[in-house]
């Protein structure tokens, strides 16, 4: 159909029964996104390399399936108002890139914004939501990240619901990733609008810092973001996830230990796992973190329950996450600067998850302790657990029945 015909068809087809595509993102989405490493410094060649590396590194097989082109890729609107792609970055066009992504068994994510301009100053969807959703669908988009820069005080529920409806009208299932930084408490209203919503401002590649960008806005380290999540756990579930932002595993000043902790904690949170490192330069030990299938299985567990903190004594935090079939994940996390001793007496514990309404009684049900980083069974709940955890490290276990 010609583009003018599309506009006429759109005019006659809009109905008031739009909804979100309901059977998507039943586990937290996994993929790779341009922004954390490249911001605006990417082009089609770099992206094709990333596609190839996602496949050849084994990340695709481990579950990473969305290649997400974040901000800085749109070109001017054409004479009928349709979005075009920045020809300098994508000389072969978006359709060709999309075909390449799909030919590798991956899915395409694109980015737009609810204002007239994106955060990077590129053209975005305000006033063109339905037309843009059609264009995204024609390009074969499977995932839309929708940002909130330059939103000029418009109503967030309205703006995000409009784009949700537009995606539905475009008739191509797309995961709808809402990115308004938690400003409008999307967890309270967006379960029927998006599949995931950012809960905070942007992450930055440090373990424990805030980057104030010279007073302009804040980006947050892994710890700062992690500490904002627990109160939101009751809002997450299959098809509607809290999104504590993309992974900084292997990036910036994070040590390998901190990257491992970051990845483990995101899994305990049932967070989307969207890596943001340069896959061309990924060291083997970073790849090992990103592809640890046993940790990924905690994140991707089909019960979809976000974990909770059971205790914090000095610098040692203990987190639990119920899993399907009665297993549990348990994460000891040492956020302090010195090694922490773990002396965990199972018999003294009564763990109750007041969101999932599940109880854990080790005197009634014994478990095998499976260490997800050494990938070995290290004992049972029959004996006291004694361990030492290095600064900023984790001991993450699957309690197996």
Q: Is 35 in the site for ligand GLA (CB under 6 A)?
A: yes
Kindly state the smallest distance separating residue 229's Cβ from ligand GLA, in Å: 16
Axis crossing angle, helix 44-56 with helix 93-103, rounded to the nearest 10:
10
Indicate the residue among 57 and 74 with the shorter CB distance to ligand GLA: 74
Kindly state the smallest distance separating residue 119's Cβ from ligand GLA, in Å: 3
Kindly state the smallest distance separating residue 366's Cβ from ligand GLA, in Å: 44
Q: Which among 178, 115, 189 has a CA at the least distance from the CA of 145?
A: 178
CB 62 within 8 A of CB 296: yes
d(CA 272, CA 175): 12
354 is known as an active-site residue: no
Total residues contacting ligand GLA by CB under 6 A comes to: 8
CB 43 within 8 A of CB 90: yes
**Interface residues for ligand GLA in 322-351 (CB under 6 A)?**
none
Phi, psi (5° rounding) for residue 301?
A: -55, 135
Kindly state the smallest distance separating residue 384's Cβ from ligand GLA, in Å: 44
Kindly state the smallest distance separating residue 207's Cβ from ligand GLA, in Å: 19
Which one among 120, 239, 250, 322 touches ligand GLA, defined by CB under 6 A? 120
**Interface residues for ligand GLA in 133-172 (CB under 6 A)?**
147
Indicate the residue among 146 and 320 with the shorter CB distance to ligand GLA: 146
Q: Which of 71, 86, 113, 147 is catalytic?
A: 147
Q: Is 71 in the site for ligand GLA (CB under 6 A)?
A: yes
d(CA 55, CA 70): 20
The whole-angstrom distance between residue 385's C-alpha and the CA centroid of its chain comes to 32
Indicate the residue among 145 and 260 with the shorter CB distance to ligand GLA: 145
Q: Is 258 in the site for ligand GLA (CB under 6 A)?
A: no
Q: Which of 202, 301, 327, 353 is catalytic?
A: 202
Indicate the residue among 35 and 226 with the shorter CB distance to ligand GLA: 35
Which one among 70, 86, 129, 353 touches ligand GLA, defined by CB under 6 A? 70
Indicate the residue among 251 and 334 with the shorter CB distance to ligand GLA: 251
Indicate the residue among 120 and 250 with the shorter CB distance to ligand GLA: 120
Q: Is 119 in the site for ligand GLA (CB under 6 A)?
A: yes
Indicate the residue among 59 and 179 with the shorter CB distance to ligand GLA: 179
Q: Which among 343, 351, 341 has a CA at the least distance from the CA of 310?
A: 351
Indicate the residue among 147 and 248 with the shorter CB distance to ligand GLA: 147
Kindly state the smallest distance separating residue 155's Cβ from ligand GLA, in Å: 19
Q: Is 129 in the site for ligand GLA (CB under 6 A)?
A: no
Q: Is 202 in the site for ligand GLA (CB under 6 A)?
A: yes
Q: Is 32 in the site for ligand GLA (CB under 6 A)?
A: no
Q: Is 179 in the site for ligand GLA (CB under 6 A)?
A: yes
d(CA 317, CA 330): 10
Kindly state the smallest distance separating residue 39's Cβ from ligand GLA, in Å: 7
CB 262 within 8 A of CB 247: yes
165 is known as an active-site residue: no
CB atoms within 10 A of CB 104: 16
Kindly state the smallest distance separating residue 130's Cβ from ligand GLA, in Å: 22
Q: Is 244 in the site for ligand GLA (CB under 6 A)?
A: no
Residues forming the active site: 147, 202
* Residues of the shown chain interacting with ligand GLA in the complex, contacts defined by CB under 6 A: 35, 70-71, 119-120, 147, 179, 202
């Amino acid at each position: 159909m010609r583009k003018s015909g599309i506009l006429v068809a759109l005019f006659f087809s809009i109905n008031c029964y739009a909804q979100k595509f309901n059977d998507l993102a039943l586990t937290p989405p996994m993929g790779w996104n341009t922004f954390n490493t490249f911001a605006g410094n990417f082009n089609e060649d770099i992206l094709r390399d990333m596609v190839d590396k996602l496949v050849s590194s084994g990340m695709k097989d481990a579950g990473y399936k969305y290649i997400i082109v974040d901000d800085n890729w749109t070109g001017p609107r054409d004479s009928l108002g349709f979005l075009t792609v920045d020809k300098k970055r994508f000389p072969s066009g978006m359709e060709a890139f999309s075909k390449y992504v799909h030919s590798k068994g991956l899915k395409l994510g694109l980015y737009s914004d609810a204002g007239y301009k994106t955060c990077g100053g590129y053209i975005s969807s305000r006033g063109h939501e339905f037309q843009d959703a059609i264009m995204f669908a024609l390009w074969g988009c499977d995932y839309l990240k929708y940002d909130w820069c330059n939103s000029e005080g418009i109503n967030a529920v309205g703006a995000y619901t409009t784009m949700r409806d537009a995606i539905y009208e475009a008739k191509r299932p797309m995961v709808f990733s809402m990115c308004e930084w938690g400003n409008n408490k999307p967890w309270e209203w967006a379960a029927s609008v998006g599949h995931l919503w950012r809960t905070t401002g942007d992450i930055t590649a440090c373990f424990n810092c805030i980057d104030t960008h010279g007073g302009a806005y804040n980006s947050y380290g892994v710890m700062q973001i992690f500490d904002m999540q627990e109160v939101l756990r009751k809002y997450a579930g299959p098809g509607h996830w809290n999104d504590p932002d993309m992974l900084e595993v292997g990036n910036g000043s994070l040590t390998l230990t901190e990257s491992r902790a970051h990845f483990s904690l995101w899994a305990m949170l049932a967070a989307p796992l969207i890596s943001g490192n340069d896959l061309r330069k990924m060291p083997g030990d970073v790849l090992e973190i990103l592809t640890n299938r046993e940790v990924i299985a905690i994140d991707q567990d089909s019960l979809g329950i976000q974990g909770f903190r059971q205790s914090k004594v000095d610098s040692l935090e203990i987190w639990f996450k119920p899993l399907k079939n009665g297993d549990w994940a348990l994460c000891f996390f040492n956020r302090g600067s010195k090694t922490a001793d773990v002396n965990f007496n199972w018999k003294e514990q009564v763990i109750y998850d007041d969101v999932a309404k599940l109880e854990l009684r080790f005197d009634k049900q014994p478990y095998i302790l499976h260490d997800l980083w050494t990938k070995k069974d290290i004992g049972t709940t029959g004996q006291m657990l004694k361990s030492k955890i290095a600064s900023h490290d984790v001991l993450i276990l699957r309690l197996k029945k």
